[in-house]
């Protein structure tokens, strides 16, 4: 479902003396349906970078990245947008929202974009928020004023409200207490059970061992280290 082959990435910082940072070379990765794969490696080794490349947020300088039928590395912007709408979900570490949109709407948005009716979209969003212990009194407020943990749960709700066939999860259990961590892990297991291909970054070892069949160490993709 998610396939990366011989992927390379470098950053050229033009305004800092044209420094070239080569961060990745010869990266290979496969995630099948129903599988959960963890990206590991030291901080700064390139885990988030690779994830962003699969999401299409970072350019791929060499090699191929394919998600489902779409060649992310060479696709047109509208194809990537369609992919993100329907097929590929991404729960990042940051919740980026418009200032005055209420929480319920934020979570329902992926469904609304897919043409789901407002009532149904909001009902499904409400169910997820309840499960993640975000009280109904908060649904009408913008999440910008929430605590870090609450924002993270809203982020997760938005990422799981639509059953994406492929999911990218960047530290989904960070900032969460035990009860909510457990809920999130259940959500991930349910996604796996319905056949989603999941790629995750988990600092939390327990979560990683429980959820993931395999681990891929991105340090192996550092330029000069490739096998």
Partner 1 sequence: MAMSAAALEMQDVPGPLLSVRNVGKRYGARIGCSDVSFDLWPGEVLGVVGESGSGKSTLLSCLSGQLRPDEGEVIFDTRDQGPRDTLLMSEPERRRLGRTDWAFVHQNPRDGLRLGVSAGGNVGERLMANGARHYGRIRATAQDWLTRVEIDPSRVDDRPRQFSGGMQQRLQIARNLVSGPRLAFMDEPTGGLDVSVQARLLDLLRGLVRDIGLSVVLVTHDLAVVRLLADRLMVMKDGRVIESGLTDQVLDDPQHAYTQLLVSSVLQV
Task: Read off the tokens for 189.
Answer: 């297991």
DSSP 218: G
Among 21, 81, 127, 225, binds partner 1 (CB under 8 A): 81
Euclidean distance between the first and the last CA atom of the chain, given in angstroms as a whole number: 24
Q: How many alpha carbons fall within 13 Å on the CB side of residue 64?
A: 10
Site string for partner 1, 95-114 (x = CB under 8 A): ---xxxx----------xxx
Tell me phi and psi for residue 212, to 5 degrees: -105, 135
Among 33, 85, 131, 222, binds partner 1 (CB under 8 A): 85
| Cβ closest to partner 1, residue 32 vs residue 98 | 98
Residues 181, 90, 29: CA angle, nearest 5 degrees: 100
3-state secondary structure of 26: strand
Among 3, 47, 52, 124, binds partner 1 (CB under 8 A): 52
Site string for partner 1, 155-194 (x = CB under 8 A): ----------------------------------------
Among 6, 42, 59, 177, binds partner 1 (CB under 8 A): 59
- Please answer whether residues 188 and 172 qualify as being in contact, where contact means their C-beta atoms are separated by less than 8 angstroms: yes
- Please answer whether residues 20 and 33 qualify as being in contact, where contact means their C-beta atoms are separated by less than 8 angstroms: no
Count of chain residues binding partner 1 (CB under 8 A):
25
| Cβ closest to partner 1, residue 78 vs residue 227 | 78
Q: Which of residues 61-80 bind partner 1 (CB under 8 A)?
A: 77-78, 80
Tell me phi and psi for residue 27, to 5 degrees: -75, 130
Q: How far is the CB of 115 from partner 1 (least distance, A)?
A: 3
Q: Judged by CB under 8 A, does residue 141 bind partner 1?
A: no
Cα Rg, the chain, nearest whole Å? 18
Q: Judged by CB under 8 A, does residue 123 bind partner 1?
A: no
- Residues binding partner 1 (CB under 8 A): 11-15, 52, 56-59, 77-78, 80-82, 85-86, 98-101, 112-115
């Amino acid at each position: 479902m998610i396939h990366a082959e011989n992927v390379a990435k470098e950053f050229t910082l033009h305004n800092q003396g044209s420094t070239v940072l080569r961060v990745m070379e010869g990266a290979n990765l496969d995630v099948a349906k129903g599988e959960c794969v963890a990206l590991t490696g030291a901080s700064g080794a390139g885990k988030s970078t690779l994830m962003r490349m699969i999401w299409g947020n970072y350019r791929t300088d060499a090699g191929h990245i394919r998600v489902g039928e779409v060649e992310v590395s060479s696709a047109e912007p509208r194809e990537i947008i369609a992919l993100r709408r329907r097929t590929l979900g991404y729960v990042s570490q940051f919740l980026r929202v418009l200032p005055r949109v209420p929480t319920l709407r934020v979570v329902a948005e992926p469904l609304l974009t897919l043409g789901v009716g407002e009532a149904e979209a909001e009902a499904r969003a409400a169910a997820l928020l309840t499960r993640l212990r975000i009280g109904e009194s908060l649904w009408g407020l913008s999440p910008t004023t929430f605590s870090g943990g609450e924002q993270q749960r809203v982020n997760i709700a938005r990422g799981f409200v639509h059953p994406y066939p492929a999911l990218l999860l960047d530290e989904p259990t960070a900032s969460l207490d035990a009860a909510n961590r457990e809920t999130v892990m259940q959500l991930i297991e349910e996604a796996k059970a319905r056949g989603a291909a999941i790629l995750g970054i988990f600092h939390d070892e327990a979560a990683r061992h429980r959820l993931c069949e395999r681990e891929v160490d991105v340090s192996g993709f550092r330029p000069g280290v490739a096998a």
